[in-house]
Amino acid sequence: MSGTTPHRVIAVEEHFATIPFWERTASLPAFAGEEAERAYSRSFIPNEFISRRLTDLQTRLEEMDGAGVDVSVLSLNPPGVQIWSDAATATSLAREMNDALADIVAGNPGRFGALAAVAPQDPEAAAEEIRRATGTLGFGGVLIGSHTGGHYLDEPQFEPVLAALEETDSTLYLHPRMPSPQMLEPFQPYGLQQAIWGFQAEAATHAMRLILSGTFDRHPNLHVVLGHLGEGLPFWLWRTDNMHAKAYAWARDVLGMVALERKPQRVLPPEHVDHHERHVRPRRAAVLLDEGRRRARSLRDRLPV
């Protein structure tokens, strides 16, 4: 398939799992308050349609070819290892799954890229795995599924993770998951806690914490990718900048705000909203979509490239 179309199509948000991973995690305890997400993530296993597409490589390649996808960038199906309360086990699982993913990439030259899994439960070990995965294994970046045990990457204990991302010039794909236990309750009814609404609310909140905490001032070379149209943030840029300036002027102490060198619009520049016209160039189209390998052909045919 690769090289047979006028534009090279890369599907970025493409997840995988393995049956041994599911077997090993069958009885692992999740963090308190994350039992619903544990049950939801394991509901994929008996669903043959979903589980086959996560675990069967031949099915994936056939669907890529049918959809016109040249390359899929694979990552462990969220919440990956971040849901497990035992840090040592989560760290070991991340390493094992990264090794399994490296074998998939090596066995299919030109068809797959990789984003590493890490276990922020142990920030120092996660930093080392970032260095190993992006160095020894040759991965292009890291996927972190938003919060870990209700904690966010702007918190001081995660500085080793951010430093390793910057040191290795690696891209962080900040992926959604169910809202953290402390914000979950209003999302409990009606399925709101998953991709209908809760996923993007969680990931966008995490991204705004990174911006408003000054994380990008401390780590100016940190690269972060948000999927799903930037989790909606580009459409709030004017209001975000405007209200940040006003609130900082009169209520910064009351609200616990910090001084920023890079205001929200400098981190999320407005031209990113018009990404089809300005940022998708011939032969370098990237599809950041759920089920990208099944929707890529129609999107590719409509892009102005």
Question: Domain residue spans in the chain?
Answer: 9-302
pLDDT at 266: 83
Q: What pLDDT sits at residue 265?
A: 82
pLDDT mean over 223-242: 90
Q: How many CA atoms lie within 13 A of 267 on its CB side?
A: 30
* pLDDT tens profile 73-119: 999 999 999 999 999 999 999 999 999 999 999 999 899 999 999 99
The pLDDT confidence band at residue 290, using thresholds 50, 70 and 90, is: low
Q: Tell me the pTM.
A: 0.88
**pLDDT value of position 210:** 96
pLDDT at 234: 86
> pLDDT at residue 285 above 50?
no
Beta strand 171-174 pairing with 71-76: unpaired
Residue 269's SS3 state is coil
151 vs 289: which has the higher pLDDT: 151
pLDDT at 124 over 90: yes
Range 9-302 classified under CATH 3.20.20.140? yes
Spatial distance between the Cα atoms of 251 and 237, rounded to a whole number of angstroms = 20
